[in-house]
Amino acid sequence: MENNNVIPSYREMVAGLQDMVYNTALSIVQNVEDAEDITQDVFIKLYEELDRFRGEAKLSTWVYRITINKALDAERKRKAKKRGGFLNRVWGTDEEQEPAHFNHPGIELDKKEDAAVLFAALSKLPNNQRIAFLLHKAEGLGYAEIAEIMKISVAAAESLQARAKTNLRKELKDYYQKHFK
Amino acid sequence: MEMNKKIEATLQSLDGMQRASASPYLLTRLQARLQTKEPDNFWVKAGRFLNRPVVAICAMFILILINFAIIVKSDVAVPDNKSITTATNYGNDLLSTNILSNYDLESTQP
């Protein structure tokens, strides 16, 4: 009953930001179930901490930061779980298998195969380069917005983007040398 | 040459991508989670407060300062001559009683 005053504005906020949060999380973790969990966690945190939002940055910038942090945390936990996977296999408790390629639902059909290879290469990049690249490509953000979200200068955001592309070219070259004849 | 084209095509494969849509049941799930969520008790709030990096770093800094202060104080402290004298006197008194063991104390029959 107490929530009645809060829910309408919260409902609008969820409706306005849900795809942004889900798409960002999905692009980072490359897993639908994890992205759904992260989206819920982000909005729960927003509900609890909205009164702490000081309005120094745009709401979307704040939400992007929360989403990125939650996604990277989830990824770290998944990797830690994977490292303990040997014992799980020995004891026969690990049923889950990592999908070979991730297919983002927003990619055009004729680009899906290339995009899956690109997402696999992206997962090998350092976090800051990957985030800068994904915010630009998956969310269509400009360097100024990326810089604000990542709390860096615009020049640094451009540099991260350039380094991401250089490293991706190297990764893709290695991949195609092995798989492309 | 062919490979370079393939690499460039792959790099551009995310161009024009659409946003993925969240589940249509997201709001319902959120409302369910918010309704079942219990309010945080004292210990959860205390734990959250102590987990803050600023608090943890300050606490660590204070501990280091206390340790440092104790070490410095114990280095400077002068040995207490009075207590050493007292201990020596007690030893001498014990030797001068001619009691060899606890057994002697108990078996002092006439």
pLDDT in tens, B38-81: 777 788 888 888 888 889 899 999 999 999 999 998 877 666 66
Task: Write phi, then psi, for A54 (nearest 5 degrees).
Answer: -90, -5
pLDDT of A178 reads 87
DSSP readout, A39-72? HHHHHHHHHHHGGG--SSS-HHHHHHHHHHHHHH
CB A116 within 8 A of CB A172: no
Residues of A in contact with B3 (CB under 8 A): 173, 176-177, 180
What's the pTM value of the predicted model, to 2 decimals? Answer: 0.71
CA A60 to chain centre: 15
Mean pLDDT estimate for chain A: 87
Percent of chain A with pLDDT over 70: 83
Q: Is A166 on the interface with B (CB under 8 A)?
A: no
CB B34 within 8 A of CB A43: no
Residue B63's alpha-carbon distances to A38, B49, B100, in angstroms, are 37, 18, 49
Question: In the predicted model, what is the mean pLDDT of residues A81-88?
Answer: 68
Question: In the predicted model, what is the mean pLDDT of residues A23-28?
Answer: 96
Q: From 3.30.70.20, 3.30.2270.10, 3.40.50.620, 1.10.10.10, which CATH number describes the A100-181 domain?
A: 1.10.10.10
pLDDT in tens, B1-21: 788 899 999 999 999 899 999
Question: In the predicted model, what is the mean pLDDT of residues A61-71?
Answer: 95
A55: alpha, beta or left? (left if phi > 0; alpha if psi -120 to 50): left
Report how many Cβ contacts below 8 Å link chain A to chain B: 98
Sequence spans of domains, chain A: 1-99, 100-181
CATH level 3 topology of A1-99 = Rna Polymerase Sigma Factor; Chain: A (1.10.1740)
Nearest to B19 among A106, A168, A180 (CB): A106
Q: Is the ipTM of this complex over 0.90?
A: no
- Alpha-carbon gap, residue A146 to B93, rounded angstroms: 83
pLDDT of A82 reads 74
The pLDDT-based confidence of A32 (bands split at 50, 70, 90) is very high
Q: Is A156 on the interface with B (CB under 8 A)?
A: no
